[in-house]
Amino acid sequence: MSILPKTLHEAADALAAGSTTSLALCQGAIDRIAAVDPKVKAILSLDCEGVLQAAAESDERRANGSALGRFDGVPVALKDNMAQNGQPCTCASRILEHFVSPYNATVVQRLLDRGFVLCGRTNLDEFAMGSSTENSAFQRTANPWNLECVPGGSSGGSAAAVAAGEVPAALGSDTGGSIRQPASFCGVVGLKPSYGRVSRYGLVAYASSLDQIGPLTNNVRDAAILLDAIGGHDPLDSTSLNLPMEQFETTLADASPKGLRVGIPAEFFEVEGLRDDVREAIEKVADTFRALGAETVPVHLPHTKYAIAAYYIIATAEASANLARFDGIRYGFRDPRAETLLETYRMSRAGGFGREVKRRIILGTYVLSSGYHDAYYNRAQKVRTLIRQDYDTAFESCDVLLSPASPFPAFRAGEITDPLQMYLADIYTISANLAGNCGISVPCAFSAEGLPIGAQLLGPSLGESAVLRAAHLYEQNADFDADFSAGPVLAAVEQGLNHEI
């Protein structure tokens, strides 16, 4: 008797050994979602029939010797802002409540081409605008470590699904920390690739110059595995980098402290609101690297204090343009009471969008308006350049940067009501999106309340190999081990959920 494997590579090994089948894996995931998700509420939709059909087809391919690869038959969940042909793509918004995708996003097609079984579409802050997954129009996702707490956002559903053992891995999107921050809150690994490393074709855009798709997994190796699967040039995405893909999983074997320089940005430890236990946890991570033989280097990112302001000008400006397409005319919700074209626009958007999305559209429209474009948007873009230059300078003296992923652990639902205070939760993650760099959050400690704390490792653009190796090195040598059975949700169902697979 065993439970659903926690990792992609364990599931793949079991399939290769013939000790399980894709049908058993996927049925295990479906059963676990049925048992756990009524409390966690990570999944917005699950096509059980389609999942089991795909699993049966995978088993048939494997039996015929024509498997599509190592991971043919392994279940993975998707954030509900990525197009999957024939499945809902709601972005957790009423305006897309009944929308069904007519095509596959590139990342989705690449998973399918490798035989992964797409198992569930996960909850998010509406249109990926939020840091707690409280802004979903349909349900509030809970943190598996404490159901009263948020899982982070906007990829909170993906992080919670992985942390709760519903699936071994999921895809999320990261515009200002929306993979790394929920990974930190839920005690999983979250990787934000460099801008252009992974195709955005089929990702419903929030801020096009900032968005990036990446994995949420239970360990660094699985993050590398999924990046190998979804990364690479895509002619359908004009911002996709036309560069050869490295094999990131294989580079983990080269993880070594020899010559590794870990930068410690002074400004990241001067942030107002940084909790003492988070600071101590990150200092202990630095101690671990030093004990292994790596060098820690003090660095400076002097424009860090301007990152939040610059981000929320640029992101909202792009959001106001991207969300103009949801007008009640072409697709999505249309208010039937409207009698004129203007009323159709006004009433459909007013009824279809939630409060936070409306707030950001209004902010973005304002900063792009006549008389304010130069004062706000253009100046924010100049600050963005300065932030990128700060990183370029820092990486001249180090290979990766170490920081918290969030200034505090998961907070209780409803605890933060001030939008500005919520925006400040992303202080450590936003600047990497502005610069186009890569970053990863790995679990490193528990707070006094028993909630996970994540350490963030940042690398330069296209520095995924260095970031993954450093994260893997820490993961293999840290005295921290996230015991996922300790979560209250898992403890409540574990006895009756030992699937024979």
Residue of 139, 142, 1, 12 lying closest to 76 (CA atoms)? 12
**Neighbour tally for 66: CB within 10 Å:** 9
Phi/psi for 198 (5° steps) reads: -120, 135
Give per-residue burial for 390-399: e unless 16+ CB within 10 Å, then b.
Answer: bbeebbeebb
SS3 for 64? coil
Q: Tell me, what amino acid is at 223?
A: A
Residue of 245, 298, 303 lying closest to 434 (CA atoms)? 303
Helix runs in 323-354, H state only: 341-352
Q: Which residue of the set 79, 158, 348, 406 is catalytic?
A: 79
Q: Active-site residue 461, yes or no? A: no
Triad 84, 87, 88: Cα angle to 5°: 105
Q: Which residue of the set 131, 178, 441, 465 is catalytic?
A: 178
- Bridge partners of residue 213, in order along the sequence: 173
* Nearby residues of 108 by Cβ (< 8 Å), 6 or more positions away: 78, 82, 83, 84, 85, 118, 202
Measured CA distances, 423 to 78, 406, 427, 428, 429 (Å): 25, 11, 8, 11, 11
Q: Active-site residue 154, yes or no? A: yes
Quote the strand ranges of 136-248, DSSP E.
169-173, 189-192, 213-217
Q: Which residue of the set 154, 184, 194, 406 is catalytic?
A: 154
Token digits of residue 155: 């990829």
Phi/psi for 442 (5° steps) reads: -125, 140
Q: Active-site residue 178, yes or no? A: yes
Compute the radius of gyration of the chain from its Cα atoms.
21
**Neighbour tally for 451: CB within 10 Å:** 21
Quote the strand ranges of 209-353, DSSP E.
213-217, 261-265, 295-299
Residue of 285, 379, 115, 323 lying closest to 208 (CA atoms)? 323
Q: Are 183 and 216 within 8 A, CB to CB?
A: yes
Residue numbers annotated as active site? 79, 154, 178
